[in-house]
Structure 1
Amino acid sequence: MRKLFNFVRNSLKKSFDNIRNEKLKYNLLQAIPFWIGSFITGLFAVIYAQMFQWGENLMHAMMNWHAWLIFIVAPVAFVLSWWLVKRFAPYGKGSGIPQVMAAVELANPKEHSKISYLLSIKIIIFKVFSSIILVIGGGAVGREGPTIQIAGSVFRKVNEFLPDWWPKISKKNMIMTGAAAGLSAAFNTPLGGIVFAVEELSKTHINYFKTALFTAVIIAGLTAQTFAGSYLYLGYPKTSDISIIIIFPVILVSAISGVFASQLSRIMLMISAWKKRLTSDRSNIIFLIVSALIIATLAYFINSEILGSGKGIMQRVLFTENKNEDWYMPLFRMLGPALSFTSGGAGGIFAPALAAGASMGSVIAGWINLTPHETNVVILTGMVAFLTGITRAPFTSSIIVLEMTDRHSLIFYLMLAGMVSSLISLLVSRHSLYDELKEMYLEEIRKE
């Protein structure tokens, strides 16, 4: 094995030495770390997605077998998920996107050593296990935010392993590119990854790292497709034969989703702030058990769709004849993520936000008796609007939903939904959930 490694290494070195153009050599050396990070990110994203889906399938199988088990499994899973993060990786809790945003801000000469709190191999390991345990216990969390923190950690480590003679690469650009590659691989949405890096993360002019960003997104996406197959996150919902009149329900659902999403963000921030007063492990465990039992009770006695990431809801309302949700489901799909996201375990809010928006669109479409195709349009715009209300990134939200459904004809409705939600959300609170959490993490880290 060692002989084979040395042979490959010497062959590559000889080929590289034969390149006469020094600028080409320099650019190649600059690009290689991004390519390596992108490939690893794509591979990790596929493995994590399959593990997370296995956990969610196990939870649904348990509910179909003996639903009462949720009263035992949920409290145990919530506590174990929280304990793993608290004990081994305190900054691995929650989504991961605010941590990446904080890491980008810390990527300066004075504070770059603190990035290891937010992005590391340890974060990758316990982020994965904590989120899978949480979703097995019915936690309403997703894997997309964690994938972004995992990708940021991968790119940071690749940068750290470079020898001293290697051309220096900006830590900030490396982390931002990793985050974009992570989102691209998680949703199979390359444009969404690029727009996310520009809209949510970047305070640097994109010209400084656009080539690295584009190639990283492409390589991560192609790697994910190679191992998982070419797929759309959701599929091809039918949206033909709609008239311009649909714009009025779109504006209505966008405004309502923007208000509810912003309120959900405020509630989660309030719970997080209140939880800081719980200084003992006992009080935290009591909170987790109560939260888990609330979710379990609603799932057992009323509707089990409060559990998990909510992808099943999106698929049902978009691709079956059963398009109308009960009036309380948007509230359930807000309560589940509120208690799960603030549990202290790992898990994202991207997919649950999309599910909440889908249920909101489904309920409103049912109230005004829209056709199935019109209902699909309102559901998709509700998804964009709710995600925008959480992230305050209307273009990212629009492009992600566009790419995961391949409904290019709806781009103007999706962008309208994002803009309406963004404007309405500003009336509720000025800053996004991610911005508030980022500042919270920065304050904690700078004190250490």
Structure 2
Amino acid sequence: MNIIIQKIRLQLKRSFDRIRNENLKKNALQAIPFWIASVITGLFAVLYTKLFVGAEDITAIVIRHHMWMLFILSPVCFLLAWWLVQRFSPFARGSGIPQVMAAIQVTSPRTSHLVDKLLGFRIIVIKVLSSLVMAIGGGAIGREGPTIHIAASVYKIVYQLLPKWWPKIAKRNMMVTGAAAGLAAAFNTPLGGIVFAIEELTKTHFSYYKTAIFSSVIIAGLSAQALLGPYLYLGYPKLDGLSASIFFGVALVALLAGLLGAGMSKLILFIFAWKARFKTKAHHVFFVAGCSLMMVLLAFYVNKEVLGSGKDIMETTLFTANKYVHWYTPLLRICGPLFSFTTGAAGGIFAPALAAGASVGSLVASWFNVSDIDTNMLILSGMVGFLTGVTRSPFTSVILVLEMTDRHNVIFHLILAGMIASLVSVLVDKHSLYDHLKVQYVKDLSTPEETALTEQVDEQKTIKPITNDREQIS
């Protein structure tokens, strides 16, 4: 009898070991696609960063030696960037974040074919080419949003290349994780990528994504750092010894920046609605050419600060003695994205929003003539406030600015800025720019029947997790 019991126990142990090994194998196989896509994303982010910086350097050379050439260069570049998108990949326009949000929404067995229009290899190529051409022309765009779009496309391509026998992975998980890895690699902000995925992209419980997102963000970030080094997006501004009354300045800057960020988003949506009434391509051509000429006229007769992503404004005000901007600089930094983002070419709005917020903080600091350290605090608060006004993602904005500057001692100041900006921006519009654009993309890529179906699918996702997500590694 004892022998029989021992045999049964031995058999049960072998069965348990077999089950455990199978689960381990399945989890490992499920993780490999995320790791591969993470490395590719990191390499793409580095290459794209170098190309984008090179494009901005070309613009700087033209401005420094022959600024009059912008009257030729900018219209040509704006029109070429717009044409590339219109001719080869219409859904590659803009920053790319709304497209990723739309792709996540329409991911279901009945509507997954729509994702191919929003993410893919052609999107990557046109996104890079169009945004680089816009940057050469002086467009007020950033590379961060496009990096997120590119990363989500990379993850989606890797998912499609998996053989049929591979353990099942939810496509939606791949895209959410790709977007998080893209933001982490673009800004070198791993926590920012994670918070962005939680706050902006996911509708299900984070436990279904955590392992994939953590590992992908780490690998993508390390891949980028291996080539670029352990850099900070901005640097280490001085923030020691802040005055006790600085919280009042932070609140004022956040209020103004939040309203301006939401207001700029509202103007962008108004222009898009107006453009929707254009009946011929000639109207679009004249509009794009007009936007480029307005950018050049402002740069030539007012100040060249209207051009480019605006990172130089952030660096100048934070790290030099030139702490204060002109009274019109915030207006220029709002006009820049208005004339660039609405053309329909590729280009992000993250960096321009941060630059606009920095100019708001610097201007308010000049009103009260505060110390350099307090000025730095107001500049960072403006960055958080303006970005929150555009995205309505205060936690993402706070974490991004914290990681870009490595100044965690002011976390409560920045949380206050994000909270106030989030509250006041609702007075302008209840929804973010990305939310409005996501809805429009969903309508553009589907028939009325498909649109109704995708809206139904999205409602189901907000109520309960997707069944496939439970099969994802956690």
TM-score category of the 2 structures, normalised to the smaller one: over 0.9
Instruction: Supply the AA of the counterpart residue of 2:46.
Output: V
Instruction: Supply the AA of the counterpart residue of 1:347.
Output: G
User: What is the distance in 1 between the residues matched to 2:101 and 2:282?
Assistant: 32
For the pair 1:227 / 2:227, whether they are aligned, the reply is yes
1:327 corresponding residue in structure 2: 327
For the pair 1:237 / 2:237, whether they are aligned, the reply is yes
1:393 corresponding residue in structure 2: 393
User: What is the distance in 1 between the residues matched to 2:59 and 2:311?
Assistant: 14
2:135 corresponding residue in structure 1: 135
How far apart are residue 384 of structure 1 and its match? 0.3
User: What is the distance in 1 between the residues matched to 2:253 and 2:333?
Assistant: 16
Alignment of 1:32-431 (within 5 A): 32-431=32-431
Instruction: Supply the AA of the counterpart residue of 2:101.
Output: M
Q: Percentage identity across aligned positions?
A: 57
How far apart are residue 228 of structure 1 and its match? 1.0
Give a deviation string over 1:84-132, Cα, whole Å, max 9, x none: 0000010000000000000000111111111011000000000001001
User: What is the distance in 1 between the residues matched to 2:40 and 2:208?
Assistant: 23
2:169 aligned counterpart, secondary structure: coil
User: What is the distance in 1 between the residues matched to 2:20 and 2:320?
Assistant: 60
Instruction: Supply the AA of the counterpart residue of 2:142.
Output: G
2:168 aligned counterpart, secondary structure: coil
1:13 corresponding residue in structure 2: none
Give a deviation string over 1:384-440, Cα, whole Å, max 9, x none: 000000000000000000000001001111111011000000111100000000000
Instruction: Flag as ranges the 4+ runs of structure 1 deviating above 2 A.
Output: none
1:6 corresponding residue in structure 2: none
User: What is the distance in 2 between the residues matched to 1:97 and 1:208?
Assistant: 21
User: What is the distance in 1 between the residues matched to 2:111 and 2:313?
Assistant: 43
Instruction: Supply the AA of the counterpart residue of 1:382.
Output: G
Give a deviation string over 1:12-35, Cα, whole Å, max 9, x none: xxxxxx998111100000000000
1:15 corresponding residue in structure 2: none
How far apart are residue 288 of structure 1 and its match? 0.9
User: What is the distance in 1 between the residues matched to 2:154 and 2:429?
Assistant: 34
Instruction: Supply the AA of the counterpart residue of 1:237.
Output: P
**TM-score normalised according to structure 1 size:** 0.95
Give a deviation string over 1:365-402, Cα, whole Å, max 9, x none: 00111100000000001000000000000000000000
Structure 1 319/33 Cα, relative in aligned 2: closer, same or farther at 3 Å? same
1:235 aligned counterpart, secondary structure: coil
Please say if residues 93 and 127 of structure 1, whose CA atoms lie closer than 8 Å, have aligned partners that are also in contact. Answer: yes
Please say if residues 19 and 25 of structure 1, whose CA atoms lie closer than 8 Å, have aligned partners that are also in contact. Answer: no
How far apart are residue 243 of structure 1 and its match? 2.3
How far apart are residue 283 of structure 1 and its match? 1.0
Structure 1 20/421 Cα, relative in aligned 2: closer, same or farther at 3 Å? closer
How far apart are residue 37 of structure 1 and its match? 0.5
Alignment of 1:4-19 (within 5 A): none
User: What is the distance in 1 between the residues matched to 2:243 and 2:283?
Assistant: 55
How far apart are residue 145 of structure 1 and its match? 0.2
Please say if residues 191 and 399 of structure 1, whose CA atoms lie closer than 8 Å, have aligned partners that are also in contact. Answer: yes
Instruction: Supply the AA of the counterpart residue of 1:68.
Output: W
User: What is the distance in 1 between the residues matched to 2:136 and 2:280?
Assistant: 26
**TM-score normalised according to structure 2 size:** 0.90
User: What is the distance in 2 between the residues matched to 1:333 and 1:279?
Assistant: 30
User: What is the distance in 2 between the residues matched to 1:106 and 1:281?
Assistant: 29
User: What is the distance in 2 between the residues matched to 1:272 and 1:62?
Assistant: 31
1:41 aligned counterpart, secondary structure: helix
Instruction: Supply the AA of the counterpart residue of 1:265.
Output: S
How far apart are residue 279 of structure 1 and its match? 2.7
Give a deviation string over 1:290-317, Cα, whole Å, max 9, x none: 1111110110111101100000000000
2:438 corresponding residue in structure 1: 438
1:446 aligned counterpart, secondary structure: coil
1:315 aligned counterpart, secondary structure: helix
Give a deviation string over 1:188-244, Cα, whole Å, max 9, x none: 000000000000000011111210010000000000000111100000000111123
2:446 aligned counterpart, secondary structure: helix
User: What is the distance in 1 between the residues matched to 2:102 and 2:415?
Assistant: 27
Residues matched between the structures, number: 431
User: What is the distance in 2 between the residues matched to 1:350 and 1:395?
Assistant: 15
Instruction: Supply the AA of the counterpart residue of 1:36.
Output: I
1:21 aligned counterpart, secondary structure: helix
In terms of Rg, which structure is larger? 2
1:9 corresponding residue in structure 2: none
User: What is the distance in 1 between the residues matched to 2:19 and 2:178?
Assistant: 28
1:348 aligned counterpart, secondary structure: coil
User: What is the distance in 2 between the residues matched to 1:95 and 1:278?
Assistant: 22
User: What is the distance in 2 between the residues matched to 1:433 and 1:423?
Assistant: 15
Instruction: Supply the AA of the counterpart residue of 2:401.
Output: V
User: What is the distance in 1 between the residues matched to 2:61 and 2:416?
Assistant: 39
Unaligned runs of 5+ in 2: 1-17, 451-474
User: What is the distance in 2 between the residues matched to 1:89 and 1:39?
Assistant: 25
User: What is the distance in 1 between the residues matched to 2:57 and 2:305?
Assistant: 13
Instruction: Supply the AA of the counterpart residue of 1:146.
Output: P
Instruction: Supply the AA of the counterpart residue of 1:379.
Output: I
2:343 aligned counterpart, secondary structure: coil
